[in-house]
Amino acid sequence: MSAARLPLIVGVGEDGLLIPIRRAQRGLKCKCVCPACGARLSAKRGKIKAHHFAHYRVEECAGAVETALHRFAKAVLHHHPKIVLPPVYARGVKRAIEPVRRFAYRRTTEEAGVKGFVADVVLYGASRLIVELKVSHAVDPYKQRVFIRSGIRSVEIDVLAIFKELVQEHRAADTKELARRIINFGGREHGLDVHGHWLFHPAQHQAEYRRRQAAALLKVRHSEWKDRHHYRTIGCPCPERQRFTRGDNWQRAYAKTYQDCAGCPHLVELVHDFAWVGYQWVPVRLAGVRCGFASSNERLPIN
């Protein structure tokens, strides 16, 4: 379902404030304009189709729903004192580092400049929290890197996914519920998905950094045998995966890198040799495996 086919559920009133469809008067009496193109809107509140705004005598513009959702979500954050944040996970670690948490804030700034970038909303509570609202496209990797460098906690709320969920439940016009789900986006309630994630959290960053630091760097050896290429991780410590050459000798334990290590829960990183190709460094050949077995398990063989 593309955003273009989703219903428009908020318009902009004469005073410049948002008016949800459930509070609008029927037809042109709603005196609303489109938040994207500024065309007059007519409130369709019939008995058959779901209530929505339609452009009056002009074609529906492309960005109306996205702009409306974006503005609506910003208003929701502005008018609430608390937000539910999702649990924090580190890559490769099953248990959450931090559970679902409420974040109370006193003040919000919209379209705030952060290190040369514009953040959708910044919440000020015990600390600063950047909130990015996903209505059409996600935060690009470059922008995310800026957030990481800045060290400020930042989350992305997938407002579009939350709205689509409501549309599928045939309650698109229920802006109250939409607001509630935006505020509670981080908690998994009534089997609803968590629509959003952490872009940067210092605890996650620390845990991943420590895990990588504690990981052992194992060498990967390449060989050709029977016309096939073989990649072996030398000195694999996991008892479930390790294979042996000639007898039960820990020194010679190995794992098949692609078969065993690539899907192994202890894998921290595949280390590659790099080559300068097409004006950028690209990974070409597997050179090693960073194995987190040592940091995650006490049963480490001596070698």
For binding to Zn ion (CB under 5 A), which residues are involved? 34, 36-37, 39, 61, 64
Which of 60/177 has CB closer to Zn ion? Answer: 60
Q: Where do the DSSP E strands lie in 116-266?
A: 117-125, 128-133, 154-157, 196-200, 216-225, 228-234, 243-244, 253-256
For Zn ion, the closer CB: 4 or 282: 4
Shortest reach from residue 268's CB to Zn ion, in Å: 49
* Between 36 and 220, CB nearer to Zn ion: 36
For residue 89, what is the DSSP state?
A: -
To Zn ion, the closest distance from the beta carbon of 24 in angstroms equals: 16
* Helix extents (H) in 158-201: 159-168, 175-183
Query: Which CB, 68 or 183, lies closer to Zn ion?
Result: 68
Nearer Cβ to Zn ion (34/88): 34
By DSSP bridging, strand 154-157 and strand 128-133 are parallel
Considering the complex, what minimum distance in angstroms separates the CB of residue 71 from Zn ion? 13
For residue 59 the two structure tokens come to 């074609």
CA dist., res. 171 & res. 26, Å (int): 18
User: One-letter amino acid identity for 243?
Assistant: R
- Contact assessment for residue 51 and residue 44, using Cβ atoms and an 8 Å cutoff: yes
Smallest gap from residue 59 Cβ to Zn ion (A): 9
Q: Is 37 exposed, middle or buried (0-12, 13-18, 19+ CB in 10 A)?
A: middle
> What's the DSSP call for residue 5?
G
Hey, what amino acid is at 34?
C
Nearer to Zn ion, 64 or 76 (CB): 64
Q: How many CA atoms lie within 13 A of 36 on its CB side?
A: 18
Closest CB 33 distance from Zn ion, rounded Å: 8
Shortest approach of Zn ion to residue 35 CB, angstroms?
Answer: 7
DSSP 23: G
CA distance 161 to 85: 16
11 bridge partner residues: 19
Smaller CB distance to Zn ion: residue 20 or 288? 20
Closest approach, Cβ 134 to Zn ion, in A, equals 21
